[in-house]
Amino acid sequence: MDIFKKCEDRSRVDEARERNVYPYFHALESRQDVEVIMEGKRRIMLGSNNYLGLTINPNVIEAGLKAIEKYGTGCSGSRFLNGTLNMHLELEAELAEFLHKDAVVTFSTGFQSNLGIISAIVGRTDYVICDKENHASIYDGCKLSYGKMLRYKHNDMADLERMLQSVPETSGILIVTDGVFSMGGDIANLPEIVRLAKKYGARTMVDDAHGLGVIGEGGRGTANYFGLEGDVDIIMGTFSKSLASLGGYMASSARVADYVRHNSRPFIFSASMTPASCACALAALRELKAHPELVDKLAHNSQYVRDGLKARGIRILESTTPIVPIYTYETFRTLGIAKDLYDAGVYVNSALPPATAPTECLLRTSYMASHNEAILDEAMDIIKKVLESDKWAM
């Protein structure tokens, strides 16, 4: 059989295009901001992970420009060999101090971070236990590790304990969870995860891609939010969200960090973060440290939207983070509503299977510290109007 046959088979993508509700690859023609120009028209951006609004911060932009002038456009090699800049070391040191960890290792992307950490730590005789709603990069890191992966029901601590009880005493265990879950916006039950990890001799890793800059004191993330920084063994995160750049990191003990640096194939065999990406992440981190009120403003905007959507009779998935999902249930209804919102001037993301159950599709809206109440009210009024005139209902 031709290996390309799968490429020719009719798919949901083909059907979405035929129905004119295909939601992907809309082209931006302006900066990533609260309002953007996308395909020639103004859209209110409710689909970005730019939580602190730092992609347009003058200090962050200037840092990137100066880094290109000083170091050029790229490092042309891996961190392991010729690709380490003094600025990489500076970023790692400042981030470790901010997160109250001994050491940080930076990766070229967030996705690569999970691949690199899990595949290095989890060996053939080890087990890695994951929340079912963890990010795809965690799943791929587990596949790359050669260890055995077990999955527990989302935030179900009784199911997690059953998984832990099934692991042979001779095997190592790493429990991996998102801190803030990217689709639902809910927060992991980290206190109970840590308790169970200690009970069964497991180690813990938190993917804080959507937690850094969002929750915790000064935006320090999920472990800090629960007062568990000293109890979580590994914190992973990205620079592509709150820190307005590109790349990822692992924060841990010095010994674990050193082990990963020398055993992680995705780290050793990938080119390092570009000078501009590194400089922008470092500048954004310094903005966050200097302006912790950004985290408070983000929390205010998120609550303002939750209250506003409920007041407009719109059913949302409850959370306390800037991720506010709106129930739309069925795949093509979700895509149709998203298209109508886009045409009306509001950009949102569609959350579809396999990211959701087939009958639990969502419109994933997300918010920034830089949104103001006037633009949020405008967006919510548009959402209400589109949902009330829903022509996609089954």
Domain locations in the chain as residue ranges: 7-45+292-388, 58-290
Instruction: Please write the tens of the pLDDT for every residue from 80-90.
Output: 999 999 999 99
Q: What is the CATH number of domain 58-290?
A: 3.40.640.10
Q: What is the DSSP letter of 22?
A: -
Q: In the block, which residue shows the tokens 């306390």? A: 320
Instruction: Please write the tens of the pLDDT for every residue from 173-227.
Output: 999 999 999 999 999 999 999 999 999 999 999 999 999 999 999 999 999 999 9
**Which backbone phi and psi does 250 adopt, to 5 degrees?**
-125, 130
Instruction: Please write the tens of the pLDDT for every residue from 250-259.
Output: 999 999 999 9
* % of the chain surpassing 70 pLDDT: 99
> Would you state the CATH architecture of domain 7-45+292-388?
Alpha-Beta Complex (3.90)
Asked whether the CA dihedral 33, 39, 40, 42 is positive or negative, the reply is negative
Average pLDDT, the chain: 96
Across the range 94-109, mean pLDDT stands at 98
Instruction: Please write the tens of the pLDDT for every residue from 139-178.
Output: 999 999 999 999 999 999 999 999 999 999 999 999 999 9
Q: So what's the pLDDT on residue 193?
A: 98
Region class of 40: left (phi > 0), else alpha (psi between -120 and 50), else beta: left
CB 359 within 8 A of CB 223: no
* Residues forming the active site: 182, 210, 241
H/E segment holding residue 149: strand 148-152
Q: So what's the pLDDT on residue 40?
A: 96
* % of the chain surpassing 90 pLDDT: 94
Tokens of 58: 């003058």
Query: In this model, does residue 394 exceed pLDDT 70?
Result: no
Tokens of 241: 């969200």
Query: In this model, does residue 392 exceed pLDDT 80?
Result: no
Instruction: Please write the tens of the pLDDT for every residue from 47-69.
Output: 999 999 999 999 999 999 999 99
Q: So what's the pLDDT on residue 393?
A: 66
pLDDT band at 357 (very low <50, low <70, confident <90, very high): confident
Across the range 23-32, mean pLDDT stands at 96
Which of 210, 207, 179, 274 minimizes the C-alpha distance to 48?
A: 210
Query: In this model, does residue 291 exceed pLDDT 90?
Result: yes
Burial of 144-177, coded b for 16+ CB within 10 Å and e otherwise, reads: bbebbbbbbebbeeebbbebbeebeeeebbbbbb
Instruction: Please write the tens of the pLDDT for every residue from 370-379.
Output: 999 999 999 9
